[in-house]
């Protein structure tokens, strides 16, 4: 039985080697093969050292973002059939490469200063303490947004939190009042990278994949630009403030390295797999800052 194959050119880089190269692999593909399927096939059949990041396999976690033929895509939903006979796979642009196809996402999250009004301050309920949470600690520490969303769940239940039946977690009190307009109550685990009382971030309406930052032509040259995701999240807050002061959001967005740095390329909207329409949201922020009205909320492509 004849099997169709595609040639994959895959970016390789290991810290120890210090040099970058492209390795080529012939991969058998079918009509429903995704780029992630192909990469995992390479990993299983050719080179187990190929490093890539993935998780949910359905464009929900945002971890498998990479450049497929120069275009930002989530590998798990990128069909091989939509590409040519030779497919080039590279890590996301504008972020430091850790290894092969994996980039350091801190470069994405660090664009959010601590004064960002969309960062929800994290606070366990007073009088609580951490009992047992080791297995979840790494997860919470590795992903701010994930931690934030879990925090909402934890906080809503008070000092004692029941997770998946058996696991009971009690939260530790933080010293002093917490800053910030909103108070979430995420879990602080003893294995978490974040110290107790550290803020977690939650980007609204966004899967935090970093594709917009990679696609943004401005982020390539302006390292202090906060980027489309942070600005889109700020505009999201104007639509649904939930206690956050509008003037705080607008003051943050009006800084030179924020909303005015955008050059209206709309590449972020094109790249966004979650339809968060970052470019339209940035323009809405500008309109609000220029004209002071917020009735231009109809976002369409």
List contacts with other proteins (CB under 8 A): 13, 15, 20, 67, 69-72, 90-99, 104, 107, 134, 190-191, 214-215, 217-221, 262-267, 270, 279-280, 283-288, 290-291, 296, 298-301
Q: Which is nearer to other proteins, 219 or 276 (CB)?
A: 219
Phi-psi bin for 57: left (phi > 0), alpha (psi -120 to 50), beta? left
Q: Which is nearer to other proteins, 92 or 276 (CB)?
A: 92
The encoded tokens of residue 96 equal 């430091």
Q: Which is nearer to other proteins, 183 or 299 (CB)?
A: 299
Q: Which is nearer to other proteins, 91 or 186 (CB)?
A: 91
Per DSSP, the three-state class of 87 is strand
How many residues are present in the chain?
A: 301
Least distance to other proteins, CB of residue 182, Å: 27
Least distance to other proteins, CB of residue 3, Å: 29
Which residues 6+ apart lie within 8 Å of 53 measured at CB? 63, 64, 101, 102
Least distance to other proteins, CB of residue 49, Å: 14
Least distance to other proteins, CB of residue 260, Å: 9
Q: Which is nearer to other proteins, 1 or 264 (CB)?
A: 264
**Residue burial 241-271, b: 16+ Cβ < 10 Å; e: rest:** eeebeeebbbebbeeeebbebbeeebbbbeb
DSSP for 167-180 reads EEEEPPPPSSPPPS
Least distance to other proteins, CB of residue 135, Å: 13
């Amino acid at each position: 039985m004849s099997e169709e194959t595609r040639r994959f050119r895959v970016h390789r880089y290991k810290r120890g080697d210090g040099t970058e190269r492209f390795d080529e692999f012939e991969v058998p593909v079918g009509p429903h093969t995704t780029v992630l399927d192909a990469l995992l096939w390479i990993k299983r059949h050719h080179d187990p050292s190929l490093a890539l990041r993935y998780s949910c396999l359905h464009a929900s976690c945002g971890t498998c973002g990479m450049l497929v033929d120069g275009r930002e895509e989530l590998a798990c939903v990128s069909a091989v059939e939509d590409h040519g006979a030779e497919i080039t796979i590279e890590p996301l642009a504008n972020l430091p490469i850790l290894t092969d196809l994996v980039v350091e996402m801190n470069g994405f999250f660090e664009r959010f200063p601590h004064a960002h009004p969309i960062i929800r301050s994290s606070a366990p309920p007073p009088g609580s303490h951490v009992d047992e949470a080791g297995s979840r600690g790494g997860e919470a520490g590795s992903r701010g947004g994930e931690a934030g969303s879990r925090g909402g769940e934890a906080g809503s239940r008070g000092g004692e939190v029941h997770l998946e039946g058996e696991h009971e977690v009690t939260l530790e009190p933080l010293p002093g009042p917490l800053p910030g307009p909103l108070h979430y109550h995420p879990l602080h685990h003893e294995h978490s990278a974040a110290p107790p009382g550290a803020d977690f971030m939650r980007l609204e309406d966004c899967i935090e994949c970093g594709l917009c930052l990679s696609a943004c032509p401005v982020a390539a040259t302006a390292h202090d630009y906060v980027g489309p995701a942070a600005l889109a999240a700020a505009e999201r807050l104007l639509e649904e403030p939930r206690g956050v002061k509008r003037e705080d959001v607008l003051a943050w967005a009006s800084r030179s390295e924020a909303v005015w740095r955008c050059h209206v390329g709309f590449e972020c909207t094109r790249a966004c797999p979650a339809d968060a329409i970052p470019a339209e949201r940035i323009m809405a922020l500008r309109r609000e800052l220029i004209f002071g009205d917020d009735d231009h909320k109809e976002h369409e492509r």
